[in-house]
Amino acid sequence: MSTVSQNIFDEIGQAEFSQMLIGACNAFPKLVDTVHSVTGLYANAYQFDILGDSDLIDYGTQGTELVSIPVDPKRLTVVLKPYTQKVIISQFAKNSGHKNIATAILMRMRDAIIRRQSYIIIQALDAALTAGEIKNVIPVGTDKSINYSKLTDATAMLAACPYSNRTLIIEPQGAKNLLHIDPLISRDYVSRDESAIQHGIIRYSILSTLVHEVAPHPVVGTNEIMQIPKSGSDNVAYLYHKDAIGYAEQADAYKVHSEWNGDSLAYIFTSGLAAGATVINPEGIVAIKYDPTIKPTKASTV
């Protein structure tokens, strides 16, 4: 029979630990920050309201009735799917120090939450690409690498979107290959008041783009692997504007529960996340296909 005993975090407390987890997640670069996010929900689904375009037209003469432009609203429903994580710490680890254990658990839970949030967004992009909703697709081409020409072509495809708040997500080998492209890392091109690479994120001033590297990660106890989608031997990178993707999340996503379990002589820490994502505006997304095994050539950088 399981019983509840003195908590390993007597000096910290569950509420404070939950706040620490929120702070750790907020301080870390996250893919969820690059999309249109709605959080703190108390529902199992969320509807994104999408409006059509409007415009300014000639006023005409005084007294003329204004011409109305119909704006056709539609709603996209996102189901918030629940996910959980459980971290088990043996009672013998208690003597190694409260703060050290707290930090280790905090980092593990933070990383799991951020990975799952990222994968939810990637799944939404992958589903839209598979369904043919994303029309802006750059094929592998003759030069199969991820190169500067493909990136500038992708940027041109987003001409109707604001130039800021753009993000490119790519797997590790593709991100590594980007470092061979001078216009993306050289001080001659990148803003001199910041490094090209900060906190694992490549900042492209010339493309007004942040690049998030998303590594494949197997989910513990399952056959699931969270990763950028592949098309045969080719990979797909996505360039998108922030308002092209919607992400919704329930409240208490970072709330941590802990208890002592006598059957396993261990402290058990759990947290949950219920979230979903959808493509809102496919025109604000470009899928770039490439072969990650091929590095960009010098000729492909200009």
Residues 101-114: pLDDT tens digits?
777 788 888 888 88
Averaged pLDDT for residues 157-164? 85
pLDDT-above-90 percentage for the chain: 27
Averaged pLDDT for residues 159-182? 83
Condensed to tens digits (0 to 9), the pLDDT of residues 70-97 reads 666 788 899 999 999 888 888 776 655 5
E strand spans, the chain? 36-41, 45-50, 74-79, 81-90, 137-138, 166-170, 197-198, 201-204, 209-213, 217-218, 225-226, 230-231, 234-241, 245-250, 257-261, 266-279, 285-290
User: Using the 8-state DSSP alphabet, how is residue 92 labeled?
Assistant: G
Q: In this model, does residue 273 exceed pLDDT 70?
A: yes
Q: Return the pLDDT at 60.
A: 67
Q: Return the pLDDT at 9.
A: 54
CB 274 within 8 A of CB 254: no
Q: Return the pLDDT at 205.
A: 44
Condensed to tens digits (0 to 9), the pLDDT of residues 6-63 reads 455 555 667 777 787 877 777 777 889 999 999 999 999 999 988 766 667 677 666 6
Using pLDDT thresholds of 50, 70 and 90, give the confidence band for residue 196: very low
Region of poorest pLDDT, from 64-68, 190-194, 223-227, 285-289: 190-194
Q: In this model, does residue 214 exceed pLDDT 60?
A: yes
Helices (H) and strands (E) in the chain, counts: 5, 17
How far, in Å, are 155, 253, 265 from residue 8 at the CA level?
A: 51, 22, 12
pLDDT-above-70 percentage for the chain: 73
- pLDDT greater at residue 101 or residue 285: 285
Average pLDDT, the chain: 78
Q: Return the pLDDT at 201.
A: 47
Question: b vs e for 145-166, b when ≥16 Cβ sit within 10 Å of the residue's Cβ?
Answer: bbbbbbbebbbebbeebeeebb
User: Could you give the CA distance from residue 195 to residue 179 in angstroms, rounded to a whole number?
Assistant: 13
Residue 15: which region, alpha, beta or left (left: phi > 0; alpha: psi -120 to 50)?
alpha
Quick check: helix, strand or coil at residue 91? helix
User: Could you give the CA distance from residue 83 to residue 69 in angstroms, rounded to a whole number?
Assistant: 43
Domain positions in the chain: 14-51+73-301
Using pLDDT thresholds of 50, 70 and 90, give the confidence band for residue 250: very high
User: Could you give the CA distance from residue 25 to residue 295 in angstroms, rounded to a whole number?
Assistant: 33
Q: Return the pLDDT at 282.
A: 94
Domain 14-51+73-301 has CATH 3.40.430.10: no
Q: Return the pLDDT at 240.
A: 93
Region of poorest pLDDT, from 151-155, 196-200, 218-222: 196-200
